[in-house]
Every structure is written in structure tokens, then in C-alpha cells.
Structure 1
Amino acid sequence: MNTLVRDMPLLPTEAETLLARKSASALSVHLASCHAPQSIVIIDHAGEKQAVELPSAVYPLLLDALAEIARGNAVTLTPVHAELTTQEAADLLNVSRPYLVKLLDEGKIPHRKVGRHRRVLYRDMLDYKQRTDSQRSQALDELAAMAQEAGMGYAGE
């Protein structure tokens, strides 16, 4: 499976964290408002320069990756068309694999079978997560409104 998904993301070193912070700051000035391809110049250790043109779709990814590395976090890249195992999908949702399999069997998340194994599209995982987050937020809003009506809120106290 050639999906660009690494088994184990690497944590940045302290030097990489500092460099990411500087790089993010410098690049954000130039890339934040760009909507067209831009070229960056890469200078290798021998002083050789090469211009590389980047599509505008890369800017937010690059800035987000640098910001996370600057915080000391590992970063992975997963294409939205990637197929995940049930364990990878469960890890993304922070649930157990048996619970995820139950969601798949109930039809709450689309999947396909490859032999005996289930495969889930990353984009379907994102859709499910967005739906459940939205439902959760709506339920919390309703509970807060009910608490306000019952005089259980903290407003005005």
C-alpha cells in the first residue's frame, strides 16, 4: 500500500523544533495570502541553488506542518483517498477496534472487504468524525439551553 502513511511518526529534535518555528514565521509572511503558485529557492550545502515551484494547495499544509513541528509534535500526511485498516481507523477515532467494527457492521461508516479484512477510506472517517462532532455540539447546545431555562446556568451570577 503506497499511501505515504508512516508506521511511526518521528518526533522532532529540539533543533528541528526551533528551525520549524523560524521557518513557519518566515514562510507565513509570504505564503499566507498567496493564491498562485510560488517558487522557493533551495540552497544545498555546496551553495547550489535550485528554484522549486509549489502549488498554492501546499501552503496551508506546509505552514500547519511547520507549526506542529515547532510545538514538538510529530506530523504525518495521509491522502484522503487512502484506505485504512480497522486498527488504523480506530486509532484515528480514538476508539477500540471492536467498537469501530461494530460501527462498520451497523453501516454508520462505509467500508469494503478485501478477503476477510475490512478497509475504510480516510475521507469516510473524516466525514463520520465531522458528523459525530456536529451531533455532539448540537446536543451540548441543547443541554445548555435547557440548563438556562431551568435556571441552572452560571449567567449573571
Structure 2
Amino acid sequence: MPDSADVSVADAALERVRTYLVQHPDGPKRVRLSVEDDGAELVVPRTVVELLAQILAHMAAGIGVSIVPSHAELTTQQAADLLNVSRPYLIGLLEAGDIGYRRVGKHRRVQMSSLLDYLRNDDLRQREAADELTALNQSMGLI
């Protein structure tokens, strides 16, 4: 968890990173970062700067951040924690085929990419349901 000093620094840095991304929406593909102390320069892919903005936003809000590679395999408890659901609920999703997994001995392992696919699909289903509800409300004259 970030302390108050980290939150303050992240908040200030987030503003600068967001401003840069807004002013340069289409590139460049590589971004030069300079270190204030010694003037050294780092060259990173733009996607790293975009990820940095997300990390800084969480830190500025006082939320800790973990980075997990998409090919990483998680225990069922780790996967449940990431989805913010109970482990038995996650097991139900695995057994229903909603999230891919493999067995290692008697244990299940969930690939992070499968979990991300589930989250994307779940988000899409929620948006479609909300759109349908909005359309229904409009047709009934409630909105």
C-alpha cells in the first residue's frame, strides 16, 4: 500500500503523464523519459507510459498495485481475490467452463489471460444488459 508521500508524488506525476498522453494521442511509439537527478534518459514503449498512468492513478487513490503477466498461472484463491468473489463461486465458474483452467495434480490453476477474457466478456454482458434496461425504460416512458 502506498504511504502518504507516495500518494502525493503519484498524484503529481499522474497529472503530467495524463497531460502528455492527451497532447500526444497518436504517438510516438517510443517515449523518452528523463531522470531529474542526473539527466539520464530512458526510452520506453508508449504502452509502458499508458500502463504507468493506470498505476499512478491507483497509487494516487491510495490503492496498492500488483502487476501479473498474462501467461501467469494463479491458484483458485488468487483468481477469486482478483475477481473479488468467493473461492467456491470461482470454482463454479471454472466447472461451468466460463473460465479456462488446468489441473496440476488435484489442484486447479487459472491462467491470467483466461481470467482477463472472462472479465472482458462479463463487462460486455453487463453493458448490454444496461443498454437493454435503458431501452425498455425509454419504451415504457419512464425516462
TM-score, structure 2 as length reference: 0.84
Q: Measured at CA, do residues 31 and 130 of structure 1 come closer, stay the same or move farther in structure 2, by a change above 3 Å? A: closer
Q: Mark the runs of 5 or more structure 1 residues left unpaired by the alignment.
A: 1-10
Q: Deviations over 1:79-101 (max 9, x none)?
A: 11111110111112221111111
Q: What does residue 82 of structure 1 align with?
A: 72
- The one-letter code sitting in structure 2 at the alignment partner of 1:66 is L
Q: What does residue 35 of structure 2 align with?
A: 42
1:59 is aligned, of 26, 49, 52, to 49
Give distance in 2, aligned partners of 1:94 and 1:146: 30
- The one-letter code sitting in structure 2 at the alignment partner of 1:117 is H
- The one-letter code sitting in structure 1 at the alignment partner of 2:92 is K
Give distance in 2, aligned partners of 1:105 and 1:71: 36
Q: Deviations over 1:19-57 (max 9, x none)?
A: 11222223333355232212222255xxx4432211222
Find the residue that maps to 2:40 and give its secondary structure: strand
- The one-letter code sitting in structure 2 at the alignment partner of 1:58 is V
Find the residue that maps to 1:74 and give its secondary structure: coil
Map 1:1-157 → 2, pairs under 5 A: 11-32=1-22, 33=24, 34-44=27-37, 48-151=38-141, 153=142, 155=143
Find the residue that maps to 1:53 and give its secondary structure: strand
Bigger CA radius of gyration: 1
- The one-letter code sitting in structure 1 at the alignment partner of 2:96 is E
The count of corresponding residues between Structure 1 and Structure 2 is: 140
* Cα RMSD, aligned residues only: 2.0
Give distance in 1, aligned partners of 2:32 and 2:95: 48
Structure with higher helix content: 2
Give distance in 1, aligned partners of 2:80 and 2:17: 35
Return structure 1 stretches of 4+ with deviation > 4 angstroms: none
Find the residue that maps to 1:57 and give its secondary structure: helix
Q: Mark the runs of 5 or more structure 2 residues left unpaired by the alignment.
A: none
Q: Measured at CA, do residues 55 and 136 of structure 1 come closer, stay the same or move farther in structure 2, by a change above 3 Å? A: closer
